Chain A
Amino acid sequence: MAAYARAYAREGSEGDRLGPITLRVAVLFHMVYLSVRGVLEGHLPLASVYDFLSATGLSMAVVYLYVEAREGIRTTGIFVIPFIFLIQIVSSAYGGKAPPSSIALRPIWFELHTLTAVLGYSAFAVSAIYGILFLLLYRDIRANHFSHFFRRMPPLEALGQMNIRAAGGGLALLTLAIVLGVGWLKRAGAGSLTDPMVWLTIFVWCVFAFSLLAYHRFGWRGPRAIYVSLVGFTTLLLSRVAVDLFFHSFHSFR
């Protein structure tokens, strides 16, 4: 995180490779840890909300590294890594005390469903962060406010593309997660398609699908396109919280 903070703080530098290398090493260790746990427990370590958070943090890091490598921009890392760090701290602090979920995680279809959903959520989270950065930079440029933030951010168009690419990846993964989930439901008969999380997820899918359609088909650019994707991500977050707190759902970790 310090390396990414330095990359952001140092004028005229794109940042050295220390941040990406350290993050790659951390991702590798985390993957090894989860793999060992998976082997020892006989299923993917996604049985509690804290496991879920830990996997989300890991996959956010993977998505971020992918976007960073693709765009060649390191100055935005400082806006993503703290979220990953926070998620991991919460997961590590409380993970040991959490009881495992009642959901049987054994069937491979379900495990893949969960895994793709986690990856999809992470991609949406990264997309939302880039969306917010886009809005902040958009506001600064239009207001002739040329601060350090203005100088250190990549071009507005690049932020917009990072937002839409991450959202596109998230939508593909969420589609896969939905297909796998429906497939698992049909085979195992363990849940119902009327489950609130299913409908909320389909709503989120529709919002992101519309966002991508508007971008590619209707040529939507700028804040309007970003706001749509942020609505999608906010719905996703709220639905996750709502399902855990207010609904009886087989998606709940309770």
Chain B
Amino acid sequence: MTSKAGLAALDFLCVGLNHETSPLEIRDALVMNEAEVERAIHVLRDRAGAEEAMILSTCNRTEVYARGASVSDLPLFVNDLLREIKGMDLGARGHRLYAYREPDSVRHLFHVACGLNSQVLGEPQIVGQVKDAITLAARSGGSGPVTERLLDAALRCAKRARTETGIGRGPVSSVYAGVSLASKVLGHLGDKRVLLVGSGEMAGLAMCHLMDSGVAQFTVAARNRERAEALAAPTGARVVTLEAIPVVLPGADIVVSATSAPEQVIAYETLRAAMKIRKNRPLLLLDLAVPRDIDPAAGRLPNVFLHDLDALAGIVAQSLEQRRAEVPRVEAIIEEEVLRFMRWHRSLELKPTVTAFRAQFERIAREELARHRGRFRPEDQPALEALAHGIVQKLLHRPTTRLNRAGEDGGTGIRRIDAVRELFGIEREEDPDEDRDPR
């Protein structure tokens, strides 16, 4: 196991693997269902002593987030956990898990939530997956004040990244690029009619994206009637054979063709006739097939917009390039949010320390007053108490002020808190709810 940070003082840790560190076969084998996630969280709590735990398991990553685990080597523990739950011994395969300690663990989660750690840079699905992970952690008793707060911060970070930068801008899949192009040509797609040629995965994906863009009227033309009807069922689309294309083509505003036919499915003459019938109203043709389904010569017809996979790949490449250019801006947002979260996290340690520190001085003052009470007249007692209180307040003023600022001073601040704890023998205890920032 490797560690990117020293793991001596375990507090908030992230241990896992992702598409950058593991091949698909391993990632696939480690994807956990809900029951497995619940079981893993129970193991982390019961056996590793984690106060809070969350597991993010998707096709691209399996990551364990744990707070306050009392095991000395959490990566080793997670390795055993994965072997127990998924039956895969990564150590035996010579595979390594990455491990991050805070603040790197926090930073890593924010990177994940913003889509910087995704296979498709800036993809938005990860936000939903992070939300699902915290919901599942809450249901399994794994969430607590810190993870809840952390997830809130991660989601806020992701939202900021998407609204303040262009990390989520532009289509990054060919099918989505095609749908974006349709919007660019035809404007609002709500009243447009779509002819889907083919009933395979690509056609299904195109239908999903088009439905998301508001399209409601579909016709499916395919050889395999059974598959076409299955594809058409959710939208109540009409199903026709490939031979009926010349009949239905004039009524369509968008044609998505994605068959595996070796020959052309829509000929130039068919399109020319269709354009005549539709009085040259604009027609968008997305040819997602290899080899191509639509005669490329059709692109010369007026008001016909014909785009094949190569053209759409151009849009995708451009979007990805633009997204890559936005990464530094997203990282700046992540750093701001990490700092903000770490300040809050430090304040959890800070407040009990300050309270205990002051209480200790006041207790000593009270004890000393009580010990020497007999040596003074009763009428002098209030003045003595005021004097003792005043001395304590004056002595504590500067240290308290400096301690209260420790949360803002990063590493120096933490060392200051640790020094006070050690010097005055203050035990670590937390009261997180009291310190939650108003949101």
Residues in chain A within 8 A of chain B (CB atoms)? 11-12, 141-142, 144, 146, 150-151, 154-158, 218-224
Would you call A157 and B314 a contact (CB within 8 A)? no
Would you call B299 and A11 a contact (CB within 8 A)? no
A11 partner residues in chain B, CB cutoff 8 A? 166, 169, 322
Which interface class (under 10, 10 to 19, 20 to 34, 35 or more) fits B?
20 to 34
Q: Which of B201-209, B225-233, B274-282, B382-390 contacts A (4 or more CB under 8 A)?
A: B274-282
Would you call A221 and B282 a contact (CB within 8 A)? yes
Would you call A142 and B299 a contact (CB within 8 A)? yes
Would you call B186 and A155 a contact (CB within 8 A)? yes
| Extra contacts besides A12-B166, A155-B187, A157-B186 (20): CB < 8 Å | A11-B166, A142-B305, A144-B314, A146-B315, A150-B184, A154-B187, A155-B184, A156-B184, A156-B186, A156-B282, A157-B185, A157-B282, A218-B279, A219-B279, A219-B281, A221-B281, A222-B303, A223-B302, A223-B303, A224-B302
Chain B 297-321 interface mask (CB, 8 Å, partner A; 1/0): 0010011010100010011001000
In chain B, what residue has the closest Cβ to A146? Answer: B315
Q: For the complex, give the distance between the alpha carbons of A11 and B164 in Å.
A: 11
Would you call A141 and B280 a contact (CB within 8 A)? no
Q: A221 and B303 in contact (CB under 8 A), knowing A157-B186, A157-B282?
A: yes
* Residue of B186, B280, B311, B314 contacting most chain A CB atoms (<10 Å): B280
Chain B 240-281 interface mask (CB, 8 Å, partner A; 1/0): 000000000000000000000000000000000000000111
A142 partner residues in chain B, CB cutoff 8 A? 299, 305
Q: For the complex, give the distance between the alpha carbons of A150 and B319 in Å.
A: 13
Instruction: Return the 10 tightest CB-CB contacts between A and B, nearest first.
Output: A157-B187, A155-B187, A219-B279, A144-B311, A222-B303, A12-B169, A12-B166, A156-B185, A146-B315, A158-B187
Instruction: Pull 28 A–B residue pairs with CB atoms less than 8 Å apart, ordered by A.
Output: A11-B166, A11-B322, A12-B166, A12-B169, A141-B184, A141-B185, A141-B305, A142-B305, A144-B307, A144-B311, A146-B314, A146-B315, A150-B184, A155-B184, A155-B186, A155-B188, A156-B184, A156-B186, A156-B282, A157-B185, A158-B187, A219-B280, A219-B281, A221-B281, A221-B282, A221-B303, A222-B280, A223-B303
Would you call B181 and A222 a contact (CB within 8 A)? no
Q: For the complex, give the distance between the alpha carbons of A11 and B307 in Å.
A: 24
User: How far does the Cβ of A163 sit from chain B's closest Cβ, in whole Å?
Assistant: 14
B185 partner residues in chain A, CB cutoff 8 A? 141, 155-157
A157 partner residues in chain B, CB cutoff 8 A? 185-187, 282
Chain B 137-174 interface mask (CB, 8 Å, partner A; 1/0): 00000000000000000000000000000100110000
User: How far does the Cβ of B322 sit from chain A's closest Cβ, in whole Å?
Assistant: 7
